[in-house]
Amino acid sequence: MILNIKHQTNYNFSSCVPRLVQSLRLYPSKCKNQKVINWNISTSIGQLTESHQDALGHKIYNIYNESLVGKQTIVSEGTIDTKDFQGVMHGLEDQLNPFCFLRFTELTRPGDKINELSRKIIKKNNEIKFCHDLNIIVYETINFKTGVTNNQTTAEESLKLKKGVCQDYAHILISLSKIFSIPARYVNGYLRDDNHINNYSSHAWVELFIKELGWVAFDPSHKKCIDENYVRISCGYDFIDASPIKGVKLNYPGGEHLNFKIDINIQQ
Amino acid sequence: MFNEVINKSNIRMPYNKVFNWAEALPKNIILKKQIQAENLFKKIGVTFSVYNNYDVSERLIPFDMFPRILSSMEWMKIEKGIKQRSIAINAFLNDVYHRAEIIKAKVIPDKLIYNNPAYDIRMVGFNVPKNIYSPIIGTDIIRTNEINFNVLEDNCRTPSGVSYMIENREIMMRMFPELFESLNIEAVDSYPSHLVDILKSLAPKKCKSDPKIVILTPGHLNSAYYEHSFLADLMGVELVQGSDLFVNNNITYMKTTEGPKKIDIIYRRIDDEYLDPLYYKNDSLLGVPGVIDSYKTENVNICSAPGAGLADDKAIYTFMPDIIKFYLGEEPILKNIKTWRCYDKKEFKYVINNLEKLVIKEVHGSGGYGMLIGSKASKKELNIFKNKIKKAPDNFIAQPILELSTVPIFDKASLSERHVDLRPFSLIGHKKFKLVNGALTRVALKKNSLIVNSSQGGGVKDTWVLAD
Amino acid sequence: MLSRTAENLYWTARYLERADSIVRLLEVAYRISLVPNTKEGYDNEWESILSTSGTKNEYLSVYKEIKKEKIELFLLFDDSNSSSVKNCITKARDNIKMVRTAVTLEVWNAVNSFFYNYYDLTKKKYLSKDLPEIIDLVKRNVNLIKGTIINTQLLNDGFDFLILGNYFERADFTARIIDVKYFILLPSTSLIGTQIDNFQWSLMLRSVSSYRAFKWAYGNSEIDYIKIIDFLILNSKCPRSLFFSVEKINYHLKRLKKHYKENKNFSSKIEGLFRKLKKLSVNDILDEGLHEFLSNFIKDISSVYSDLEKKYFLGS
């Protein structure tokens, strides 16, 4: 399916930022599940520089700014051709041994609740089936609700609440999988979703490593594997690690306002 | 226990002259010289900071005037052994961040590498300049008998103490010039210029002129700040903090009174996670945002490389003999200490049943913290550690309680035996290896104590290598 | 030179000068307390010390009442007072410690032992009777450090930044001392020629350690406000005068320009100030209004500092 995507991020800095470096992981992942037809990243202000391709396959761009004040708009847009492989990822330019993704982070470290949940799960020998089980368990345990969690909520905390958004579903699935020694990682991307009322189409899901298949992408907030409606952008240990834009402001006391808008439509 | 000075009631060769000299020193002279030494240290300002004690946060490391002496034969063996180890360590790091042959060959279990927090996944596939990850290695060595020198620990990240090696010598030469006239003692003061040499050989690919080096320090509250400024001074390079550097379009600059100056090599004395807030700790102001991009685009070199600390992880240490064999096809010249790995079921059982005979170490601890000496621990402490090990066996290793060799110190003007270790600092660059003929000797000041760390009350001695 | 190094050197000197200024203020107050029957003027004097050192609000938020012992303690040792002598010395040492290798061993030793000597004082309870001794210790040490700088430092850019820190602080401080008491220097007051006036004027001179110097400069003639204004603002020989500080700042900024082979004229603002002061007479100042003049001066100096900061300390 050919998708046109425009992802616009707007910043508003209330006072002058002496020096700002932003690191962007906004370029869609290279793999057989999606083919980039054209893609462009731009910023309304500052110097955009291509940096390097990292071990996870991200094509990293940086924006450098001096004495920045007021509005900044970062646009990442292009056309991409997606294919449905039932979630199995093919041809990722990822150089890491999957066992690197057995480590826990602050956001995914299991506590009593997650351990308790894991004890109720019966492990299957068939890894594929078992991963689907885990995905369904997370889907059924958590109720989708916005506004109750934020970007610092840990997997353990959101399980306690039994509520959350895609990011919380993902963190819990990652935490559970690692308990069963299945390598797991957090993925950021876009989802074309006609049923969603919100124009909110930035999405997060999880890749689990299955020996026979390699990395397989599960979406615990939709109880399925990803298909041609998904576009993969960045991955990492958790939400913070995988975030598509990271910025560091030096000596900046002022405020920062952020909003973003994503448009996805099918090219006819 | 091996006494380095007196063996079977004979004075050992290297100590022949010095021991007689020390015994003949009148008490009042010893006391006077001790005060003189302390004043000299204070005057130069050689201090180290102690954490959690902001008010008077600086202390002198106690210095003992009785020198540690090694014969040239003994030193040759140490040098060979350290060179072998340094080469193997860098080959190992290059391998695990690329093809990982050593894991494929099942010499080291994959879990130990890939699940290790010191294994930096961002370094995978990146070619560091000249394949040198850890150009400066401090090797902790203990002596157990006439012939055996064993490695206790490799320090591959930011080993400190080299300033004491040089300053201790400076002070001994000022106080006892007559000893230096009558004995043939190898000099150590060339270390800083060798360090410059080694670092320059590791210039990044895009550096086309004489490489500009800086030392990156976390700041003057760091315990080793004195050493950072000492080295910068003797190397003739700038000592910078994170805020003195910035990155623009992948190039690293230093802020100067004459505007931005491009930097080629960062000898960093801050830990990996503080290097770049864009990649590691996001709330840290110690680092330089964008410096990893500058590094990855080959505009700047960071020494040691991020992720080099994997090689001094205590769990990896136990495999060092295998690592040397795997990459060099040689037997290790310096042996490891016998070590039990608690993640191995059989060894775990032995450790749990023999705690009182062992030293237990946390795999990721350093500086003598997170350590238990079984023979000196109370029942309660033993039980606490037993539970800790049972809970996370992967996090612990155990070693026999070591008989560190002894050298006397001046204890209130009379000589008295104390345990010592040895830390030489080796330098490895592009087709270059250098070990100055000297080292830091750390000494436990309490009688019978085996803990030599300065953060826990240890002192230092000047270390002499005799020329032929 | 690293920008931070320049900045650290500048602030080392600036904090040392500030410590020195504060004990000079205390010395004046101490002198007043020795003079009987000045109850009224006494409180005023203590208050103006707080104003001059810029710490009045800080003080009142902690202590509520103006009291001699408390002010002494506040100015000498209080950690919560950012300009206490203790904090100045600590900051001076912190700054120089960060650039240890940019100064000679002698300079480092002088600052370091000053820090330890002063630190020893904090270990025992402070008694008012110790004040003269403490004042003496601080003055002696600061002079020792300055002498050591002049005698041992290489006359490179680092030297210029040290001297600049010293004179920026002094210019600012002297201007503030005069400004806090400007009314006693105005010709319109009815107290002219009275005992009180004379006493106030001599105090002002003492607070910048220039009482004797004044006598040297103007002989035995009577003190009057014209002479004092001339002496503290325009005199080129008085090391505490505004003109003197401006001349030094101008000179060292020019040296930096030469050192860095810069084409652009950075020091135009200071050059202007220097020329203006050179031509000025006491009457010009009184015409402008003494308070106005001083406010403008303080503004000008701080804008020269902003330029200096932007150019050399921010480094990009």
Residues A124 and A183 in one domain: yes
What would the pLDDT profile of A130-157 be if each residue is shown by its tens digit? 999 999 999 999 999 989 999 889 999 9
Residues A170 and A67 in one domain: no
What would the pLDDT profile of B152-192 be if each residue is shown by its tens digit? 999 999 899 999 999 999 999 999 999 999 899 999 999 99
- pLDDT averaged over every residue in chain B: 91
- Residue A38 to residues A89, A230, B296: CA-CA distances in angstroms? 21, 17, 26
CATH 3.30.930.10 applies to domain B339-401: no
Q: List the single range of A187-196, B23-32, B248-257, B408-417 with lowest mean pLDDT.
A: A187-196
Say if the Cβ atoms of C3 and B241 lie within 8 Å: no
Say if the Cβ atoms of B278 and A248 lie within 8 Å: yes
Residues C146 and C181 in one domain: no
Min CA distance, B248 vs chain A (Å)? 6
C115 DSSP β-pair partners: none
Greater model confidence, C315 or B354: B354
Question: A248: which chain B residues are within 8 Å (Cβ-Cβ)?
Answer: 277-278, 282, 289
Min CA distance, B229 vs chain A (Å)? 25
pLDDT of residue C224: 79
Contact B346, B353 (CB under 8 A): no
Task: Please name the residues in contact with A19: beta carbons below 8 A apart, sequence gap of 6 or more.
Answer: A65, A66, A249, A250, A251, B246, C316
Chain B's closest residue to A64, CA to CA, is: B248
Residues C4 and C93 in one domain: yes
Nearest to C3 among B219, B225, B256 (CB): B256
The whole-number average pLDDT for the span C178-190 is 69
- Give how many domains chain A has, as a whole number: 2
For an interface test with B, which of C11, C93, C100 has the most B Cβ atoms less than 10 Å from its Cβ?
Answer: C100
Residues C172 and C238 in one domain: yes
Give strand ranges (E) for chain A.
2-24, 34-43, 47-53, 59-82, 143-144, 163-164, 184-191, 202-210, 214-219, 224-225, 230-236, 245-250, 256-266
Chain B's closest residue to C4, CA to CA, is: B244
For an interface test with A, which of B110, B124, B244, B281 has the most A Cβ atoms less than 10 Å from its Cβ?
Answer: B124
The ipTM, to two decimals, is 0.91
Position C39 pLDDT exceeds 60: no
Contact B151, B139 (CB under 8 A): yes
Position C201 pLDDT exceeds 80: no
Q: Is residue C197 part of a domain?
A: yes
Q: Is B5 helix (H, G, I), strand (E, B) or coil?
A: coil
pLDDT category of residue A126 using cuts at 50, 70 and 90: very high
- Residue C214 to residues B17, C229, C230: CA-CA distances in angstroms? 68, 11, 10
Residues A162 and A41 in one domain: no
Position B132 pLDDT exceeds 60: yes
* CA–CA dist C202, C198 (Å, integer): 6
Strands B238-240, B213-216: pairing kind: parallel
pLDDT of residue C266: 62
The whole-number average pLDDT for the span A9-34 is 92
Residues A231 and A119 in one domain: yes
Min CA distance, B325 vs chain A (Å)? 24
Q: Is residue C281 part of a domain?
A: yes
Residues C136 and C169 in one domain: no
pLDDT of residue B47: 62
For an interface test with C, which of B257, B258, B288 has the most C Cβ atoms less than 10 Å from its Cβ?
Answer: B257
Question: A103: which chain B residues are within 8 Å (Cβ-Cβ)?
Answer: 115, 117
Residues A110 and A7 in one domain: no
Say if the Cβ atoms of B259 and C316 lie within 8 Å: yes
- pLDDT averaged over every residue in chain C: 86
- pLDDT averaged over every residue in chain A: 91
pLDDT category of residue C208 using cuts at 50, 70 and 90: confident
Residues A93 and A204 in one domain: yes
Residues C116 and C173 in one domain: no
Say if the Cβ atoms of B110 and A99 lie within 8 Å: yes
Residues A102 and A181 in one domain: yes
Residues A59 and A113 in one domain: no
Helices C3-34 and C131-152 sit at what angle, rounded to 10 degrees? 150
Residues C96 and C71 in one domain: yes
Position B222 pLDDT exceeds 80: yes
Min CA distance, B101 vs chain A (Å)? 13
Residues C57 and C183 in one domain: no
Residues C307 and C207 in one domain: yes
Chain A's closest residue to B242, CA to CA, is: A250
pLDDT category of residue B52 using cuts at 50, 70 and 90: very low
Residues C79 and C134 in one domain: yes
Strands B396-400, A59-82: pairing kind: unpaired
Say if the Cβ atoms of B244 and C108 lie within 8 Å: no
Residues C147 and C18 in one domain: yes
Min CA distance, B120 vs chain A (Å)? 9
Tokens of A32: 């057989």
pTM above 0.90, yes or no: no
Say if the Cβ atoms of A250 and B289 lie within 8 Å: yes
- Report residue B385: phi and psi, to 5°: -65, -35
What would the pLDDT profile of B262-317 be if each residue is shown by its tens digit? 999 999 999 999 999 998 876 777 899 999 999 999 999 999 999 999 999 888 99
Greater model confidence, C53 or C169: C169
The whole-number average pLDDT for the span B370-386 is 87
Residues A119 and A13 in one domain: no
What would the pLDDT profile of C221-256 be if each residue is shown by its tens digit? 777 788 888 999 999 999 999 999 999 999 999 999
Residues A152 and A225 in one domain: yes
pLDDT category of residue B228 using cuts at 50, 70 and 90: very high
pLDDT category of residue B57 using cuts at 50, 70 and 90: low
Smallest CA-to-CA distance from B66 within B468, B422, B464 is with: B464
Q: How many CB atoms lie under 10 A from the CB of residue B174?
A: 11
Min CA distance, B229 vs chain C (Å)? 7
What would the pLDDT profile of A58-100 be if each residue is shown by its tens digit? 999 999 999 888 899 999 999 999 999 999 999 999 999 999 9
Question: A19: which chain B residues are within 8 Å (Cβ-Cβ)?
Answer: 246
- Residue A28 domain boundaries: 2-81+245-266
What would the pLDDT profile of B8-50 be if each residue is shown by its tens digit? 889 999 999 999 999 999 999 999 999 988 888 877 766 655 4
B259 inside 8 A of chain A by CB: no
Question: B246: which chain C residues are within 8 Å (Cβ-Cβ)?
Answer: 316
Contact C57, C35 (CB under 8 A): no
A10 DSSP β-pair partners: A73, A259
B121 inside 8 A of chain A by CB: yes
Q: Is residue C179 part of a domain?
A: yes
Min CA distance, A248 vs chain B (Å)? 6
Interface of B with A in 1-20 (CB under 8 A): none
- Give how many domains chain C has, as a whole number: 2
Q: Is residue C158 part of a domain?
A: no
Residues C185 and C113 in one domain: no
Size of interface B-C (CB pairs under 8 A): 59
Interface of B with A in 272-331 (CB under 8 A): 277-279, 282, 285, 289-290, 293, 296-297
User: DSSP label at B292?
Assistant: H
What CATH number is associated with residue A195? 3.10.620.30
Nearest to C1 among B43, B232, B257 (CB): B257
Min CA distance, C312 vs chain B (Å)? 4
Question: B257: which chain C residues are within 8 Å (Cβ-Cβ)?
Answer: 1-3, 6, 157, 256, 260, 311-313, 315
Say if the Cβ atoms of B238 and C312 lie within 8 Å: no
Q: Which fold has domain B205-299?
A: Rossmann fold (3.40.50)
Chain A's closest residue to B100, CA to CA, is: A97
Residues A255 and A236 in one domain: no
Question: C259: which chain B residues are within 8 Å (Cβ-Cβ)?
Answer: none
Structure-token match 């070619």, residue found: B127
Residues C140 and C188 in one domain: no
Residues A77 and A91 in one domain: no
- Residue C196 domain boundaries: 164-316
pLDDT of residue B50: 46
Handedness of CA B126, B131, B132, B133 (dihedral sign): positive
Instruction: Give the domain ranges of chain B.
Output: 205-299, 339-401
Q: Is B66 helix (H, G, I), strand (E, B) or coil?
A: strand
User: DSSP label at C312?
Assistant: I
Min CA distance, B370 vs chain A (Å)? 22
What would the pLDDT profile of A181-218 be if each residue is shown by its tens digit? 999 999 999 998 766 544 457 899 999 999 999 999 99
Mark which of C107, C122, C153 sits at the end of a domain: C153
What would the pLDDT profile of C94-112 be if each residue is shown by its tens digit? 999 888 888 988 898 899 8
Tokens of A29: 């992942």
B100 inside 8 A of chain A by CB: yes
Backbone dihedral region of A214: left (phi > 0), alpha (psi from -120 to 50 degrees) or beta? Answer: left
Q: Is residue C159 part of a domain?
A: no
